[in-house]
Structure 1
Amino acid sequence: MEATYVRIAVEKLRVSSPITYEMLKLLSELESCSEIVQKQNIEKMNKMADEMNEKELQYTFIIELFKKINKMMDEQKTPLGIILTILKRFGFNFVMKNLPSYGLYSDLSSERKIEKMIVDEYEKMEEKDERLIADLSECNYLFGRSTSLKLNSICVPYLLKVALKKEEDEEAQKEVEMALFALSNIGLYDKVPKELYLNEIADIIQYHQKHHNLTQLAYQSAWQFLINRYPEVCELIYGLACDLNFVKEAPIELEELTRRLTLKMKEEGKGGKEVFEVMIIRRWLLSLEAFFSNLMLWKEECYGLVGSFMRALQASKDYFSDLSFENVCLLESMVTNKRIPLDALFKERVIDVILEEILQTRLKIRIFRECLAIFKFLAGRLDGKMKEENGKAKQKGMKRKFFDKLEEEGYEDSLTSIYVIVHHRSKRFRNSRLLTNSSDYFVFL
């Protein structure tokens, strides 16, 4: 029966997806081949998983490959470690390419397989297989499912133990990278007891700052895991981020990523397949959004952080433009946090980018709504209805500069037209009203 299923699937995909055809063939061989051939097949599959485009990952893998992998787990003919290696590689690519994977996890967890295996291994009376628990934990987090406090209390210490490895050989670096990468995928509102991670994650970040032992992705993942814990212990995490020099460290990483991306653009041209640097920049956006949303004290160094972010953002948009909603969410967190001074938003071109963004979204209503919400809040700050940090004279100058820019560059008419469209299509702005004297006030308040 299984042979028939694989044969039909292989024939179906032979022409339309050569990668999937070959992947199914290699998967089928794992059940009966030698250990050497197994290793060779896994290496081939890992490489092919990395080369799959978004369509193949989202549809072909879910429809064909994942069914096969899920069934292999049930039948237990292939060593579990091999199956988890394959799953982790696909999970890694789903997260890096910002693709939803919950459909996969619903199949995998129909009997809560992964969770049950983690708990069963953890509760063994005899010696536990720590490597297996770590591998299972990585699969659990990479497929993006919200997890329980109990499961996090088991998984996080095992992954941090892997991440604390100090060896600098390539294999150890990859293990550390995957452990931190999985931890960074724990949901923003999933509970993780602070005593399980605070000292360990601080040690990992500080050691890297002295010895540079982590990859760029591993270092970003360590910061993302830490900053994702903001909702749980906001003041504590913010203080730790300041102690660990996030405001100085993040710009260094962003500038290097921007430099490498710019160089790659010159060599290879814009567009096409998304590059690794863009994927990491996208992940930094998530960390920065949480950081700026919870910023409690503005420091001089924050100007550099905002500037580095804006340069990375511009470089990423030139190469791969599908970052719009993430961009808007981050920009919104910066505009709505009154601790971030308005002059920083003007100086580092944050306002310019918001204006450019709303005119490039081509009637994506979801993004327009967010942009208009930003402008509404910004208008309140400029109009002095909220407590301002800049003084009345400076505030008036910024307001005048902003309105002149709207008029001179043609934004005013465009924004008014967009507002009218959204006004009629979104209940969110039903009660808003346009003001006639938009040279003195913003187009809506």
Structure 2
Amino acid sequence: MIASSFPEKCVSLINGAPCWAVFFLFDLLDSFLCIVFRFLDEVMEEKLESCHCKNPQETTNFSGYELLSNDDKHLSETLYRRRNVFRQAGFLRFARKLPEITKKIGIVTFLRNFLFPHKMKKLHHEVANRWSDCGCKTCVSWTNTNKLNVILKQPSISQDLLMSNKSEVNVIFIHGFLASSSFWTNTVFKYLPETTTKTNYRFFAVDLLGFGDSPKPRDCRYSLKEHVEMIEKSVILPNNLSSFHVVAHSMGCIIAIALAAKFSDNVKSVALVAPPYFANSKGGASCDALDVIAEKKLWPPTSFFSAMMAWYEHIGRGVCLVVCRHHRTWERIIKIVTWRRKVPTAITELMKHTHQSAWHSVHNVICGGAKFTDKHLETLINSGVRINVVQGDRDAIVPIDCLWNMKAKFPAVKVEVIAGTDHSTVIMSRREVFVANLVSLWSSSGETQN
């Protein structure tokens, strides 16, 4: 036994050494970028924005921090418990003293007057986007509204039908991370049923807060609570939904469960696709979730990128500075390379977010939401809400173990594994079948009059 385990340990050490070295350098780079961005924020915006490089209980000088001891804040422990060798060694003490040092030297004022002589009177709160975010007309169009962008599909109904006693089926579709309502509207919407002699259908596809064409406020923490409240404000209340179903994918599943739990007396069914589920544990569901969805490893590339963006706040901001802020340049390049007049929707929607919205949604929804999911599922099951879950057996984004862990803890949840499909193709490669299963779920969930 000892002889056989020794080679395995050697192989593990050889594979782990490059990984440790790369993420060690990332720890150093992220700490360095913390100093760089703090300096640039003060020069470009005349105000320091808070980051999560230290425990918020230590913070007294900068706005934007909220104490995690307050349960009402719904913030994730992973925002400040992320391991970083240099942060733990006190490397960022210089960053904390940077504002005071730069003020004494006067370099910030000099650079601000030199670079922006005509913009000194522009107040910080008047600007919708940060200097590292794109400020084009499309990206700041959300400033004209305080509600989510919602795509509504419903057939034209005559007055006679409106006055009839036909049941009404309302369905809210919620997309996943770095996506938008087009995930549903460009795929499954054309297969959804039309009004029948017995039923009127209304389908709502939302752009979540911080994504697509929805608002991306810079002072928002994009917590699970804020996402749910915005859907309530933008869909449920304006349309007087007294009964509805919810369909969600990936990160949207956590929001869907929370939304359904809040309206457990109104929701009829919940259909989840590849939900990231992490049961509460002694170590903390939020931290467990981060270790699973963003495990520090070099292969496959998707896992490496997820780890880099989830663990390193300032490296992630740098990536968004290059990609999202300059999305128009990338779109022109893609058009030239692909010889297309229009950039694929999946690519444009991928860049329709800010670092603020993406970063906080990862931690406060996927990780932070993990500690609330069990309670929300219990509420739904006790209310008799039907919950169907489907996932592909080749899903490399959300481990298939998440599905089985949910089923083990909540036997009432109906689960289905689709062979040969991954995180997206579980829907995309079987759209008609997927919609047919949804219609069957809706019809068997005991519709009531609206």
TM-score normalised over the length of structure 2: 0.28
Q: Which has the higher contact order (CA 8 A, sep 6+)?
A: 2
> Greater share of helix residues, 1 or 2?
1
> Greater share of strand residues, 1 or 2?
2
